[in-house]
């Protein structure tokens, strides 16, 4: 049931093998635990451990640092495949690869890469601490502060809606080291969970993607040395902007995978469910609904893969990433909703899988840049001279 409707014929042999391996992992380990993890709002530790063992938490980390040595595009394929079965597990992998690992690879010095990438590839979950209570779409209105203390800093503030925060051992924390300079004072620090003053606060009780933890991170005068600055002092805004541009492609992949999962469930149901003496898939109205889902998913997938290929080729991709995230979230929302309708009354029950996918889809229009912010980005680039 979790297999794609069509083969991914545009992939290399190695990529097809990767997708097949991830699919098998999802069928054997993830699928049996999806309902329980959603109900209990936690990620089964054995699933997280297996993801590390398979190299899925360090996909494009170079082998010299203990990673899988694959590509950003490969990470997008994995995120998409995981989301077909459980978008919660997909976003755990997504944040690790497209935000945390990506930021350290791009902005870290050699010593930081050696220190942190090896941990992130082997057994340590990372999280990306940017959002705050008053700093969401207006990301640079953050109130977290880094006050100079000797040759280092003391970091104070509260971060909100932090994905992977409960399981994390590495925290990329954004704080303003020079508020007089506005956003040009924002600096990114690499912290770890055992540092005095860093605490995990309340865990959100969420509508969807419940197996993925979302928490508050509390910073109370955390002493930070200069070796933990990622990039340069005052360059944290560049780290945030450029990393999130790439992360949006990952969210697009998650939403495409979710929509594909919804279609696979709906297709199987319509071929089995009978009304008026025949399978409901034989009714033209149902056929058209499935066909529209299929067409929209194909278009969304192509948008995501196009953005990923452009990023990997070093070509401009900000517009393409915004389009991919916006459109794939629209498609996931529509397809998961239609899957519930095709199931009829059964779709409204938690005993059937499409109800969960319907709940999971909503976040795609919100995190890593809301729907409105994606449209603003697209419009700005469209109207630029």
Query: Catalytic positions, please?
Result: 368
Task: For residues 168 and 124, give the distance between their C-alpha atoms in angstroms, rounded to a whole number.
Answer: 7
For the chain, what is the HEC assignment? CCCCCCCCCCCCHHHHHHHHHHHHHHHHHHHHHHHHHHHHCCCCHHHHHHHHHCCCCCCCCCHHHCCCCCCHHHHHHHHHHHHHHCHHHHHHHHHHHHHHHHHHHHHCCHHHHHHHHHHHHHCCEEEEECCECCECCCHHHCCCEEEEECCEEEEEEEEEEEECCCCEEEEEEEEECCHHHHHHHEEEEEEECCCCCEEEEEECCCCCCCCCCEEEEEEEEEEECHHHEECCCCCHHHHHHHHHHHHHHHHHHHHHHHHHHHHHHHHHHHHHCEECCEEHHHCHHHHHHHHHHHHHHHHHHHHHHHHHHHHHCCCCCHHHHHHHHHHHHHHHHHHHHHHHHHHHHHHHCCCCHHHHHHHHHHHHHCCCCCHHHHHHHHHHHHHCC
């Amino acid at each position: 049931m979790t297999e794609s409707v069509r083969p991914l014929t545009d992939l290399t042999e190695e990529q097809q093998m990767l997708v097949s391996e991830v699919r098998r992992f999802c069928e054997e380990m993830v699928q049996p635990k999806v309902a329980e993890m959603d109900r209990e709002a936690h990620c089964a530790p054995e699933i997280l451990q297996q993801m590390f063992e398979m190299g899925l938490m360090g996909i494009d980390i170079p082998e010299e640092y203990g990673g899988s040595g694959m590509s950003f595009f490969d990470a997008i394929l994995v995120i998409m495949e995981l989301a077909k079965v459980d978008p919660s597990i997909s976003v755990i992998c997504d944040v690790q690869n497209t935000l945390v690992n990506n930021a350290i690879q791009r902005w870290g010095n050699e010593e930081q890469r050696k220190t942190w990438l090896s941990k992130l590839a082997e057994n340590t979950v990372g999280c990306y601490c940017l959002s705050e209570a008053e700093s969401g779409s207006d990301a640079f209105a953050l109130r977290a502060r880094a006050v100079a203390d000797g040759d280092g800093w003391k970091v104070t503030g509260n971060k909100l809606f932090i994905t992977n925060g409960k399981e994390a051992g590495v925290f990329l924390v954004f704080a303003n080291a020079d508020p007089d300079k506005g956003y040009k004072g924002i600096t990114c620090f690499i912290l770890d969970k055992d540092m005095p003053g860093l605490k995990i606060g309340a865990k959100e009780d969420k509508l969807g993607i419940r197996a993925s933890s979302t928490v508050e991170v509390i910073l109370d005068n955390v002493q930070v040395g200069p070796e933990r600055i990622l990039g340069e002092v005052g360059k944290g805004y560049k780290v945030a902007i450029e990393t999130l541009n790439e992360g949006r492609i990952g969210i697009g992949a998650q939403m495409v995978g979710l929509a594909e999962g919804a279609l696979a469930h709906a297709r199987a149901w319509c071929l089995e469910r009978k009304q008026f003496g025949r399978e409901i898939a034989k009714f033209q109205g149902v056929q058209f609904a499935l066909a529209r889902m299929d067409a929209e998913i194909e278009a969304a997938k192509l948008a995501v893969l196009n953005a990923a290929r452009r990023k990997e080729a070093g070509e401009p991709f900000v517009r393409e990433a915004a389009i991919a995230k916006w459109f794939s979230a629209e498609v996931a929302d529509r397809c998961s909703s239609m899957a519930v309708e095709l199931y009829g009354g059964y779709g409204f029950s938690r005993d059937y899988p499409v109800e969960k996918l319907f709940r999971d889809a909503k976040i795609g229009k919100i995190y890593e840049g809301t729907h409105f912010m994606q449209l603003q980005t697209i419009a700005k680039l469209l109207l630029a001279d």
